[in-house]
Amino acid sequence: MDLLLAIAIMALGAVVLGAALGYASVKFKVEGDPIVEKIDAILPQTQCGQCGYPGCKPYAEAIAKGEADINQCPPGGDEGVRKLADLLGKEYKPLSAEHGQEKPKAVAVIREELCIGCTLCIQACPVDAIVGAAKQMHTVVASLCTGCELCVKPCPVECIDMVPIPETLETWKWKYPVFEIKPAESRKVA
Amino acid sequence: MAEYLFLLIGAVLVNNVVLVKILGLCPFMGVSKKLETAYGMGAATTFVLTLATGASFVIDHYLLMPFGLEYLRTLSFIVTIAAIVQLTEMVIAKTSPMLQQVLGIYLPLITTNCAVLGVPLINISHAHGFVASLLFGAGSAIGFSLVLVLFAGIRERVEGAEVPLPFKGTAIAMITAGLMSLAFMGFAGLDRY
Amino acid sequence: MLQQLFRFQGGIEPAYHKQESVREPIAQAPLPPRLIIPLHQSIGGTPRPVVAVGDKVLKGQLIGAADGWISAAVHASTSGTVVEIGPRRIPHPSGLTTDCVVIEPDGEARWIERAPLDYRAMAPEEVRAYLQNAGIVGLGGAAFPSHAKLTTAKGVPMQELVINGAECEPWITCDDMLMRERAAEIVAGIGLFRDLLQPQRVLIGIEDNKPEAIAAMTAAVRAAGESFEVIAVPTRYPAGGAKQLIRVLTGKEIPAAKRSTDLGVQCFNVATAYSAWRAVAHGEPLISRIVTLTGNADRPRNWEVPIGMPIDALLPLAAPRPDTDGVIMGGPMMGFLIPALDVPVIKATNCLIAHSPSLFPPQPPEMPCIRCGECARACPHELQPMDMYWWSRAKNFGKAQEAHLFDCIECGCCAYVCPAHIPLVQYFRFAKSEIWAREKERKLAEGAKERFEFKQFREEREKAEKAEKLAKAAAAQAAKKAAEAAAASAAGSTAPPTDAAEAAKKAAIAAALERARAQRAAVQARNTEDLPPEKAREIAAIDARRQQAGLEPAAATPLGKEDA
């Protein structure tokens, strides 16, 4: 009798709670997944597809669903992986080798004397950073180029090079003070 | 009245659920890497724990005790707490996306938080009344939030320090927790009158 | 004096070393064999070169036109020939190059046509544009284009115009000597600023360790019949920081993320006022400035130096001692060791200090921070340098910003007092430039995302449009076929009419599909028709790879975009 009573009470509880939860899940249904947006914000938006997904957003969705790992984005680099690990509460892991290595930032440059005007690179460019028309010379708008390298392979005459961005006065950064030259303020008058 | 006050102070400081009772260590170590997440977790736990103590008191006194089913306590408490947490999460997700962003993944974590199960059980073993149960639950939760936030603040700072390699990460966090626990021993006796 | 003075928190009192370089009056530096004039000398846009190699230029001729509102023009410092326009090293801690115009002087120093400007008859905008074209920038060290500072904030009347003659950094005396010798023109320049800004009061702040300058300025103000107040401020580094001087003179504290104009205050350096007046009254653009040559040298002195003079040509004038091992540009607190001696003097070069190990002993090794709080006591901005340092060192930039990193003026007081010899300012500079770089990257990423999403949207739209077009054509075809079939059945066919219509429809669909296929094939080959087979194979392989990666919709036509 006791046993049946216990089962009955537990079943009652389960039914009540289950009903409440079921009702709530219908009543309080939310659309969209804010975590995808957060992941997408960390990704570098090069849209290069090196992760194996056609763009940063699909990769973000894949991470959110747990289909993709967080270490598949070479342009985001080590820091990107760390940020993703931080956001998702996962363990940090080094960039996976199969998806490529972190490279210095580069832009695509078309050797204009070789360009035949085939527009293949224009279609390959995910961010519309190449201008030109059929049978006209094309050129890369350097300030918009994300360095994704997607235009390099389609070029039938191999006239696109990836040129690393040189350091200029605008992009120069103060270095972390370890083994650096010592500027004046650290050698003050006694 | 004074009794309740001492109960509350005792729960927050003297018998701190984390540092003295050593309950709820998983979130204490897990979500204390950043101050913001610690705030979120603290708030979520406070809310759920207070609710859970109330609910478990009701279940215990009006469902289990009359039928002499005290041996089902743990089981029924776990189910209740899990349901409350789920319910809370859904309501928050719908009504306040902002709060949902803050609490985010921490709410589901509370389901498996031993502090949330432990406090109602302690309540029963101490034969607390309803108000006392609620106060004890709230006090424990506040104590949990307090040490979680303090610990997160310390850990954030330690992150920037030059920790010897063998102690990096969880090891130094454990040592820090131990030192905090020692410090909280200093409150012993504060709840006696 | 009735003026009530305020004080700023913190600050330090270093050894000033100002006596060395004020014994002799300002002298004119000789013309070097080459002038290297960087185009980028002020904060803001880089001026575009308006001369070409081989051009003859006159003294004061425009060689770089301002690019945008926050930018100031650059001029030839003497007459001669442009021999090179290209990247040269400039005095910058990075040692990197930027485009410079190299002029070989002809020694005649022939001026452009100069005419005084009747600025009172002109609209303020015109005067500002004139000053921009004359290349007037702040000469205190930051080189911010002055015309951009000569506007009031909307709805805030200008209350105080603060003229900065404090010159608080050790060793530097160029403003001091300028005030002693050319006070009348400085006062005239202040009058120009006053007319443009219409402040209620004009306050000239000079540190009280420069009594000669105070006397000269007071006399000049009296002689000009102006109501400017010359105020001696207590000598305490960094009293010459704009925010500190404003605080001392007006008692106003400029909150973070606000400009002084929001509180009705604007601040200019005395040398800026002087060069603005030279531009207005004599038509002379900013082509020279006073530079203090001092430090480990036998003949320290102030020199009027043409902009672009290489430092290796200038330095011998001060007879540096043999153990000189470098040159600091700016003061010892905020300046930096120049990367090489072939860099030129620029508009921001107020002082060159010959560096020697005995004069500036190397920094003892950095010890751990014990949070003693000395830096917080010394900080003139009431910041907590130990916290900013902690987060900067840990590369926790969000936290560093929360500790108000960007309110730091990098005056170096904290590093000066630090008992652990931590180069705090270096950490702050590192953190600041990292944050800026990240911000820039983030903006670029946002732009890339937007463009990517738009491209996707466009491709979708094009596909939909194409499908619609095809469907329409197919429907028309089907209708025609159906009509024909109907006609045929009406003519007495044995087949039931419904079947005929169905068959016609099917045929029409098949025909449409066939056509679409043909069209696609035709389109596909168009741009690659002349390619050798191996290229074609390669392209096919690339297409296949792309399809595999899902980067291109299946069977996308290479010239699809052109069709639409």
Output the pLDDT for position C525.
44
- From C218's Cα to the closest Cα of chain A, the distance in A is 32
Distance of CA C279 to CAs C79, C112, C117, C133, C287, Å? 18, 13, 8, 10, 10
- From C3's Cα to the closest Cα of chain B, the distance in A is 46
C167 residue type, one letter: E
Which residues are registered as beta bridge partners of C27? C303
**CB < 8 Å to B69, chain A:** 2, 5-6, 9
Q: Is residue A82 in a domain?
A: yes
Structure tokens at C437: 């770089």
pLDDT band at B30 (very low <50, low <70, confident <90, very high): confident
Q: What is the DSSP string of C28-75?
A: EPPPPS-EEEES--SSSSPPEE---TT-EE-BT-EEEE--SSS---EE
B35 phi/psi in degrees, rounded to 5: -65, -40
How many residues are present in chain A?
A: 190
Q: Is residue A130 in a domain?
A: yes
Structure tokens at C407: 């309110």
Domain enclosing residue C200, as ranges: 19-29+128-355
**Contacts of A138-142 spanning 24+ positions with Cβ under 8 A:** A138/A110, A138/A112, A139/A110, A139/A112, A140/A107, A140/A108, A140/A109, A140/A110, A142/A107, A142/A109
Sign of CA dihedral C479, C484, C490, C494: negative
- From C399's Cα to the closest Cα of chain B, the distance in A is 10
pTM: 0.80
Q: Is residue A26 in a domain?
A: no
Domain enclosing residue A44, as ranges: 34-99
CATH number at residue A146: 3.30.70.20
Q: Are residues C347 and C378 in the same domain?
A: no
**CB < 8 Å to C368, chain B:** 162
Q: Are residues A86 and A127 in the same domain?
A: no
Which residues are registered as beta bridge partners of C344? C310
Residues B160, C368: C-beta atoms closer than 8 Å: no
Q: Is residue B67 in a domain?
A: yes
Residue A168 has pLDDT above 70, yes or no: yes
Distance of CA B115 to CAs B26, B35, B107, B138, C258, Å? 10, 20, 14, 12, 48
Residues A42 and A25: beta-carbon distance below 8 Å: no
Structure tokens at C93: 């801690």
Residues C338 and C311: beta-carbon distance below 8 Å: yes
pLDDT band at B168 (very low <50, low <70, confident <90, very high): confident
Q: Is residue C345 in a domain?
A: yes
Structure tokens at A28: 């309080």
Q: How far is CA C525 from the centre of its chain?
A: 50
**Rounded-to-integer distance, Cα C132 and Cα C125, Å:** 10
A134 in reach of chain B (CB within 8 A):
no
Q: Is residue C474 in a domain?
A: yes
For residue B153, the chain C residue with the least C-alpha distance is C399
Residues A29, B100: C-beta atoms closer than 8 Å: no
DSSP C137: B
Q: Is residue A143 in a domain?
A: yes
Domain enclosing residue B170, as ranges: 2-185
Q: Are residues C413 and C334 in the same domain?
A: no
Q: Is residue C232 in a domain?
A: yes
Q: Which of residues 11-30 of C touch A (CB under 8 A)?
A: 14-15, 17
**Rounded-to-integer distance, Cα C422 and Cα A188, Å:** 12
Residues 6+ apart with CB under 8 A from C552: A123, C543, C546
Residues C267 and C193: beta-carbon distance below 8 Å: no
Show which subunits contact A, needing at least 3 CB pairs below 8 angstroms. Answer: B, C
A10 in reach of chain B (CB within 8 A):
yes
Q: Which of residues 87-126 of C touch A (CB under 8 A)?
A: 90, 92-94, 96, 98
**CB < 8 Å to B73, chain A:** none
B169 in reach of chain A (CB within 8 A):
no
- ipTM of the complex as predicted: 0.79
Q: Report the share of chain B in percent with pLDDT over 70.
A: 93
Q: Is residue B193 in a domain?
A: no
Distance of CA C352 to CAs C137, C172, C231, C302, Å? 19, 8, 28, 10
Q: Say which residue the tokens 């008692």 belong to.
A: C251
**CB < 8 Å to C391, chain B:** 160
Q: Is residue C43 in a domain?
A: no
Q: Are residues C349 and C478 in the same domain?
A: no
For residue A6, the chain B residue with the least C-alpha distance is B69
Residues B100, A34: C-beta atoms closer than 8 Å: yes
Which residues are registered as beta bridge partners of C145? C137
Show which subunits contact C, needing at least 3 CB pairs below 8 angstroms. Answer: A, B
**Rounded-to-integer distance, Cα C58 and Cα C79, Å:** 4
Q: Which of residues 57-86 of A touch B (CB under 8 A)?
A: 86
Residues C486 and C499: beta-carbon distance below 8 Å: no
pLDDT tens string, chain C, 564 residues long: the values are 456 788 888 999 999 999 989 999 999 999 999 999 999 888 888 889 999 999 999 999 999 998 888 889 999 999 999 999 999 999 999 888 999 999 999 988 899 999 888 888 888 889 999 999 999 999 987 889 999 988 877 888 889 999 999 999 999 999 999 999 999 999 999 999 999 999 999 999 999 999 999 999 999 999 999 999 999 999 999 999 999 999 999 998 888 878 888 889 999 999 999 999 999 999 999 999 999 999 999 999 999 999 999 999 999 999 999 999 999 999 999 999 999 999 999 999 999 999 999 999 888 888 889 999 999 999 999 999 999 999 999 888 988 999 999 999 999 999 999 999 999 999 999 999 999 999 998 998 899 989 998 998 999 999 999 999 999 999 999 888 888 888 877 765 554 555 666 777 777 777 767 776 666 555 444 444 455 666 667 667 766 766 666 554 444 444 444 443
CATH number at residue A75: 1.10.15.40
Count of domains observed in chain C: 2
Residues C21 and C293: beta-carbon distance below 8 Å: yes
How many other C-beta atoms are found inside a 10 Å radius of the C-beta of residue B182? 10
Q: In this predicted model, what pLDDT tens digit does every residue of C36-69 receive, in sequence order?
A: 999 988 888 888 999 999 999 999 999 999 888 8
Among A140-149, B101-110, C477-486, the least confident range: B101-110
**Rounded-to-integer distance, Cα C344 and Cα C342, Å:** 6
For C393, the 3-state DSSP assignment is helix
**Rounded-to-integer distance, Cα B134 and Cα B136, Å:** 5
Q: Are residues C455 and C331 in the same domain?
A: no
For C141, the 3-state DSSP assignment is coil
Q: Is residue B149 in a domain?
A: yes
A32 in reach of chain B (CB within 8 A):
no
Output the pLDDT for position C498.
57
Q: What is the DSSP string of C253-279?
A: -PPTT--GGGGTEEEEEHHHHHHHHHH
**Rounded-to-integer distance, Cα C432 and Cα C427, Å:** 9
In SS3 terms, C274-305 reads as HHHHHHHHHCCCCCEEEEEEEECECCCEEEEE
A144 in reach of chain C (CB within 8 A):
yes
**Rounded-to-integer distance, Cα C407 and Cα C114, Å:** 42
Count of domains observed in chain A: 2
Which of C391, C427, C430 should one mutate to test binding to chain B, selecting the residue with the greatest count of B CBs within 10 A? C391
Residues A127, C528: C-beta atoms closer than 8 Å: no
Q: Is residue B190 in a domain?
A: no
By C-alpha distance, which of B98, B122, B137, B116 is closest to B8? B137
Q: Are residues A95 and A115 in the same domain?
A: no
Q: Is residue C227 in a domain?
A: yes
**CB < 8 Å to C434, chain A:** 173
Q: Are residues C289 and C254 in the same domain?
A: yes
Count of domains observed in chain B: 1
CATH number at residue C218: 3.40.50.11540
Q: Is residue C437 in a domain?
A: yes
